[in-house]
């Protein structure tokens, strides 16, 4: 899989973020209008503080949202801990020692509970937090219909089958197709990887291998913090660790050496950044609407 597609810090434009199916009935833009009218402001306030303190947290929450949605829908199941009869998704191959930001979601939930007790689902909080993480990092912002119900079950088996940094484009297209997403949407959602950092083990074979489609200066730069052996958890940005717009839009606009980082990037990546930005906004709005049933 292409280096800039690797799933370590997010996944998701999401990753980002895929609302595979609803577990909640009809979603609505006004779901909490009467019962918790300030929920979005509360989520944004906590997310703003979290990203200000640690910019990487935005990418982590984005990835968390994607990993939730790709497994049995956007139902908050990734937030569940181990319990009798429940095996947590947190311990899956894709999440153990890499999924992070749970404490931020807990902090948001605590603030929301003070404002409107037992009203807002954790699934909705995560959906809003993931949306806000994108905008706080310089990406687009979209409306999030609400009304998701929290899952009381987890699916570690399905979580173990999340898109992997070691898969080729054929496998990735197949996995996204199984969730009702095409290659163009896969490409757009992959914009999430312009933020956050990746662990060395996830891209070592790319920068130390002999693949012809990787930019040599890029590979050499990444080797500095990712030795041929050891340092598995060393973190490195694959594009930029903080801002979405700084890299993803130029990559979409100009197919220069940076685009060589990607293996078999779908043709949508070569189009103009204005079109791409609009597509990102529209796809994300669609995914978080929760209409992939």
pLDDT for 97-118, tens place per residue? 899 999 999 999 999 999 999 9
How confident is residue 185, by pLDDT bands cut at 50, 70 and 90? confident
Give 235's strand partners.
199
| Residues 175, 162: Cα–Cα separation, whole Å | 8
Q: Is 277 a catalytic residue?
A: no
Are 33 and 40 a contacting pair, CB within 8 Å? no
Show the DSSP H helices in 137-196 as ranges.
156-159, 169-177, 183-189
Are 97 and 60 a contacting pair, CB within 8 Å? no
Location of structure tokens 């080797």: 223
| Residues 121, 183: Cα–Cα separation, whole Å | 31
Q: Please pick, among 67, 148, 204, 265, the residue that the annotation labels catalytic.
A: 67
Are 247 and 13 a contacting pair, CB within 8 Å? no
Residue 15 has pLDDT above 50, yes or no: no
pTM, rounded to two decimals: 0.76
To the nearest whole number, what is the mean pLDDT of the chain? 78
Neighbours of 97 (CB within 10 A): 9
Residue 213 has pLDDT above 80, yes or no: no
pLDDT in tens, 255-293: 433 333 333 333 433 443 444 445 445 444 444 333 222
pLDDT in tens, 134-175: 899 888 888 999 999 999 999 999 999 999 888 888 999 999
For helices 273-289 and 122-136, angle between their N-to-C axes, nearest 10 degrees: 170
Residue 17 has pLDDT above 50, yes or no: no
- pLDDT in the model for residue 276: 47
């Amino acid at each position: 899989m292409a280096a800039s597609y690797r799933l370590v810090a997010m996944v998701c434009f999401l990753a980002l973020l895929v609302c595979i199916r609803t577990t909640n009935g009809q979603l609505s833009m006004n779901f909490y209008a009467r019962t918790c009218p300030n929920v979005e402001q509360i989520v944004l306030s906590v997310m703003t503080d979290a990203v200000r303190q640690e910019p990487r947290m935005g990418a982590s929450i984005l990835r968390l949202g994607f990993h939730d949605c790709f497994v049995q829908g956007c139902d908050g199941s990734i937030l569940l801990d181990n319990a009798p009869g429940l095996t947590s998704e947190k311990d899956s191959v894709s999440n153990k020692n890499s999924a992070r930001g749970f404490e931020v979601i807990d902090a948001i939930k605590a603030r929301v509970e003070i404002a409107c007790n037992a009203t807002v689902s954790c699934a909705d909080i995560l959906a809003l937090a993931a949306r806000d993480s994108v905008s706080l990092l310089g990406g687009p912002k979209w409306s999030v219909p609400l009304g998701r119900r929290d899952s009381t079950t987890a699916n570690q088996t399905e979580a173990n089958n999340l898109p992997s940094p070691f898969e080729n484009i054929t496998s990735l297209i197949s996995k996204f197709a199984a969730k009702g997403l095409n290659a163009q949407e896969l490409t757009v959602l992959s914009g999430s990887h312009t933020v956050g950092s990746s662990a060395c083990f996830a891209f070592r074979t790319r920068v130390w291998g002999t693949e012809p489609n990787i930019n040599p200066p890029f590979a050499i730069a990444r080797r500095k913090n990712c030795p041929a052996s050891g340092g598995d958890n060393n973190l490195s940005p694959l594009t930029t660790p903080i801002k979405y717009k700084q890299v993803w839009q130029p990559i979409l606009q100009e197919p220069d050496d940076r685009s060589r980082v990607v293996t078999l990037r779908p043709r949508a990546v070569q189009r103009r950044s204005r079109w791409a930005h609009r597509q990102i906004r529209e796809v994300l709005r669609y995914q978080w609407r929760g209409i992939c049933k």
